[in-house]
């Protein structure tokens, strides 16, 4: 895995895909991706290191379990149970991450409302 520089903040992030291919593409690190609310410019690759995805996935599951009483999460929860870690890294690495981030944001918004 190679280090690539985020085109927005300049921080280095690891990316299997960008490391293997050309260095011309623009990269976006996970932080900037979250700051931008999940919006990605065309030609930009969101570079999320695998360990970050697993970390986020673990946090996400913990969050989910904490807020498990919400009826509105039922559909998402069901989806998640079907989504194993292996599947996440194998087939839907990026989609899985995007889904997770959106869900995490919703979870944190919900928990803030409750306070």
Matching residue, tokens 């559909």: 75
**29/53 with CB nearer Zn ion:** 29
Task: Output Rg (C-alpha) for the chain, integer angstroms.
Answer: 15
Tokens of 105: 């944001």
Residue from the set 2, 3, 5, 9 that interacts with Zn ion by CB under 5 A: 9
Burial (CB count within 10 angstroms: exposed 0-12, middle 13-18, buried 19+), residue 18: buried
CB nearer to Zn ion: give 46 or 64.
46
Q: Considering only 21-29, 53-61, 71-79, 94-102, which stretch makes contact with Zn ion by CB under 5 A?
A: 21-29
Under the rule (CB under 5 A), what is the footprint of Zn ion? 6, 8-9, 15, 17-18, 29, 32, 45, 47
């Amino acid at each position: 895995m190679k280090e690539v520089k985020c085109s927005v903040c300049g921080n280095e992030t690891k990316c299997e895909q960008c490391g293997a291919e050309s260095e011309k593409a623009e990269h976006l690190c996970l932080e900037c991706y979250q700051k931008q609310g999940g919006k990605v410019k065309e030609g930009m690759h969101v570079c999320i290191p695998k360990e970050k995805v697993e970390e986020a996935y673990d946090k996400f599951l913990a969050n989910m379990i904490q807020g498990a009483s919400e009826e509105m999460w039922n559909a998402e929860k069901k989806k998640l149970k079907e989504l194993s870690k292996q599947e996440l890294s194998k087939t839907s690495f990026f989609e899985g991450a995007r889904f997770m981030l959106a869900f995490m944001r919703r979870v944190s918004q919900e928990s803030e409302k409750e306070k």
